[in-house]
Amino acid sequence: MAIVEDEAAARTSTARVVAPPTARRPKARKSFLPVALVAPAVVLLVLFTVAPAIYALILSFLQMKVGSGLLGGGATEVFAGFANYVTTLTSGEFWAGLGRMLIVALIGVPATIFFATLFALCLDAKRARLVGFTRLAIFLPYAVPGVVASLLWGFMYLPATSPIGGQIINYFGTTGIFFSVTNVAVWGVVGFNMVILYTAVRSLPADLFEAAELDGASELQIAVRIKLPLIAPAITMVALFSVIGALQLFNEPTTLKPLANAISSTWVPLMRVYTEAFVNNSIYEGAASSFILIIMTVSATVLVNVVGRRIAGRQH
């Protein structure tokens, strides 16, 4: 027995000695390709967005002070604190422009969401024909520059050249101008938002729709009760883009301004920023106004995200 136990112990020790060492995992090589691909975009973002924003923020706390005396002492930049912000917030033109912008947003944002959702659901319907051509036709206005689209619509609004009743309807009146501007802005972005929603609808599993059809649901019931709740996150994204676009309203009213007396140089806040900075040569107050708009845009973005998540959470 002792001899057998000694032989077994010897074999075990030999096996331990002969056992190959554990193979080491090769270290993953660091690839610089992702960094190289992202670097140009980051550099452009820093040079043309971050750096100008920091410079504008600095300007918003400065003022130009002209030297006193008979001959004057020249103009120098001095620290003004929040004086430029106070001037903007106490300006009646700023709040009047903000009110007009909100009117356009109250009309344009729901219209954009409604038409983009309607087109996406109609294109996904079983009976839809010429889907590719229709999708391209709806998306095409988004590819047209905003200035060009505004000029085209402007001539369609003019009584002398209007094919849509400009001789009867005053598209450039104090009330009609809101519809005119909103119409140009909405059709310029509906196609892009429609593509977002259409992609979200097409990504839904077809089994859900087949099961609903077997239960006797109509195409309209499937669209309203199944598709709409499932694409709620995409609708929230569209709402977010629409709100941000409304706060950045500038091209449409600026282009229509030579054609419409109802549009002033401070009709919306961004037009006031441009007028103050480059017409009145008050870049400091213009910088302060732009940062107030940035704060409003960020606040609106957070609000839309919170509301959208709560709606999506209730539906799930």
Same domain, 202 and 264: yes
Q: Is 88 contained in some domain?
A: no
Do 76 and 113 share a structural domain? no
Burial of 57: CB neighbours in 10 Å, binned 0-12, 13-18, 19+: middle
Quote the domain boundaries for residue 53.
46-83
For residues 139 and 72, state if they share a domain. no
Say whether both 79 and 110 belong to one domain.
no
Domain match, 111 and 63 both: no
Q: Per residue of the chain (316 residues), what is the pLDDT tens digit? A: 444 445 545 455 544 444 455 556 555 566 788 888 999 999 999 999 889 889 989 999 998 877 665 555 567 888 888 999 999 999 999 999 999 999 999 999 999 999 999 999 998 888 778 888 888 999 998 988 889 999 999 999 999 888 998 889 999 998 999 999 999 999 999 999 999 999 999 988 888 888 888 888 888 888 888 888 888 889 988 988 898 889 889 999 999 999 999 999 999 999 999 998 888 888 999 999 999 998 888 888 888 888 777 766 665 5
Is the domain of 64 the same as that of 153?
A: no
Same domain? For 277 and 136 the reply is yes
pTM for the model stands at 0.80
Q: Is residue 310 part of a domain?
A: no
Task: Assess whether 68 and 135 both reside in one domain.
Answer: no
Q: Which among 266, 260, 193 has a CA at the least distance from the CA of 231?
A: 193
Count: domains in the chain: 2
Pair of tokens at residue 234: 């995409």
Are 184 and 59 part of one and the same domain? no
CATH number at residue 235: 1.10.3720.10
Is 240 found in the same domain as 116?
Answer: yes
The verdict on residue 123 lying in a domain is yes
Whether 67 and 134 map to the same domain: the answer is no
What are the tokens at 300? Answer: 């609106």
223 and 192 both lie in a single domain: yes
